[in-house]
Chains A and B, each alone.
Chain A
Amino acid sequence: MSESFDALRDLYQDVILDHGRHPRHAGRLAAFDATAKGDNPMCGDRVQLWLKYAPDGRIEKTGFEARGCAISVASADLMAEIVAGTPVEDVRALFSAFREMAKHGDGPDAAVAPGGKLAEKLERLRPLAGVHEFPSRVKCATLPWHALIAAIEGTQETSSE
């Protein structure tokens, strides 16, 4: 049996199991500048997030509430960790690179080429790259990011469909 679970270890790396079980950024922020909900109607995953900007326009803090699988919770938590202190344009670039990685397993793409300033952040998302082998789970990983972008843009609701 262990051989079939080896592939699963790529999907459920310890980092993911850990963040999925004990998210550090779970919870609504008492004071926030923007909020948005993400919804994956196909599987019922839901996330709401709140974000607060620093005076210089960078993201200061993100908090979230998620009802979903280990992948979506871990992804939301890792995202919250990584975007803290990041300017909004970089968040967009990270999202598109991360989306590539989640879909295809590789990346970072040109936007955040190795050695580029976002490479280190993207590397911390690498444990989620395993979802590319599970097409139905890619949306679990990208849902919190869709919600984050929606919050930034003031859209408030998004869906990962």
Chain B
Amino acid sequence: MNMHDTTGMARLRADFPILTQRVHGRDLIYLDSAASAQKPRAVIEAMRVTMETQYANVHRGLHWMSERATDAYEATRDDVARLLNAPDRAEIVFTRNSTEAINLVAHSYGRGVLRPGQAVLISEMEHHSNIVPWQMLRDAHGVGLRVAPVTDAGELDLAAFEALLADGTVGLVAITHMSNVLGTVTPADRLVRIAHAHGAKILLDGSQAIVHRRVDVQALDADFYVFTGHKLYGPSGIGALWGRRALLEAMPPFLGGGDMISSVTFERSSWAQVPHKFEAGTPAIIEAAGLSAAIRYVEAVGYDAIGAHEARLTDHALARLAAVEGVDILGRAQDRGGVVSFTLANAHAHDVATLLDRQGIAVRAGHHCAEPLMRRFGLDSTARASFGVYTTEAEIEALAAGLERVREFFA
């Protein structure tokens, strides 16, 4: 898809109905896609059509409608497998979001496979969802928790990362593939190699990365990969875990209930095969239809075009924001995606966000669910602009101009 001229972008933006909304009397400038992305009409339609024409519970009915609904739901599993280049569709487990996927691994792999005395290694730039489940595991199960530092530039300190693995007690590395605060893309393939060289498995949190980059779990040679649908232009309420089949098979279930069993008596139950073992209860049927449409949408736009577009926007944003007096950009990683965090002298991030909002510009302000990272940089909050396929250079210009006004307001 053509994303480098205004006609192409106008056509793409027309796919997103919400972009015609006005906020405080101004055109919406949505720069908060890293928190959640807007939805193309294809996603909205897919969900509507599901409810209007082929809705029933899945894996349960013998009737026609349930079979259609099951086929559609299972077809989304194929879409996710293709998106991640997973070797086996049975390795895709649907979850509510990334948070649930990480909790699933922390629970089932953490308690079922890791032994007390082993450790999990995370990094300083993790989202709370990739910190708290491991703390819970540590407290309940005696698995240690180690934290790899980030450099002042906002990159993972690779030497320290490797040193933390050196004693061989780390059983699992759980690390972001792209920081939601710094925009840093971590060198996932190297991390995988280092982890494996020290006998550890590795989970990559792809919540942000998959929005910006083509992900190939086989090329990465990872062990687990998680992402969340709503950041990938899909609906909220659905995400996925990919895990190597042998690992998933060795793990006990996460939640118990319907759909995840092969047989139940009051004495004992036996589990269904993967992935169903991990999908207890009625899943997000309608959302699965939306996720399928979202994946197809991203594939149609194409990761090459997305990557080029976002690299252009990010370079532009870094240059324009740096030119605003008093703006300090957090994170100077070489390899980065379309997320830019910054502070403005004499103005707290929340005040910046409120003043930008009044100009129709939506940015996020706060700790971005990464308090330890904020603390690492001696901050308690930043403002963050993040970009999606629909973001334009004109919107970046509006952000820079808006920030100039905020600066004058607080000068």
Contacts and interface: CB of A to CB of B under 8 A. Distances in A.
Interface of A: 1, 4-5, 7-8, 11-12, 17, 21, 42-46, 67-71, 134, 137, 140
A44 B381 CA distance: 7
B409 A4 contact: no
Given A17-B410, A44-B371, A44-B374, A71 B351 contact: yes
A11 B26 CA distance: 19
A10 B37 CA distance: 32
B348 A69 contact: yes
Nearest to B360: A4
B131 to A, nearest CB: 15
A141 to B, nearest CB: 12
A70 B381 CA distance: 13
A12 B408 CA distance: 13
Interface in B322-354: 346-351, 354
A140 B381 CA distance: 14
Given A7-B358, A70-B347, 19 more contacts: A1-B405, A4-B26, A5-B355, A7-B24, A8-B409, A12-B409, A42-B366, A44-B374, A45-B350, A46-B380, A68-B350, A68-B380, A69-B349, A69-B350, A69-B351, A70-B348, A134-B354, A137-B350, A140-B350
Contacts of A46: 380
A43 B350 contact: yes
11 contacts: A5-B355, A5-B409, A8-B354, A43-B365, A43-B367, A43-B381, A68-B380, A69-B348, A69-B350, A70-B348, A137-B350
A4 B24 CA distance: 8
A46 B349 CA distance: 14
Contacts of A42: 366
B366 A44 contact: yes
A4 B354 contact: no
A129 B349 CA distance: 21
Contacts of A8: 354-355, 358, 409
B367 A11 contact: no
A68 B366 CA distance: 10
Contacts of A71: 350-351
Contacts of A1: 359, 405
Contacts of B410: 17, 70
A45 B371 CA distance: 12
A5 B405 contact: yes
Contacts of A137: 350, 354
B341 to A, nearest CB: 14
A70 B350 CA distance: 9
A77 B26 CA distance: 34
Nearest to B347: A70
A5 B410 CA distance: 12
A137 B350 CA distance: 9
Contacts of A45: 350
A46 B410 CA distance: 21
Nearest to B358: A4
Nearest to A17: B410
Max chain B C-beta neighbours (<10 A), residue from A17, A69, A70, A71 = A69
B359 to A, nearest CB: 6
Given A21-B346, A43-B366, A46-B380, A5 B358 contact: yes
B384 to A, nearest CB: 13
B171 to A, nearest CB: 31
Nearest to A131: B354
A5 to B, nearest CB: 7
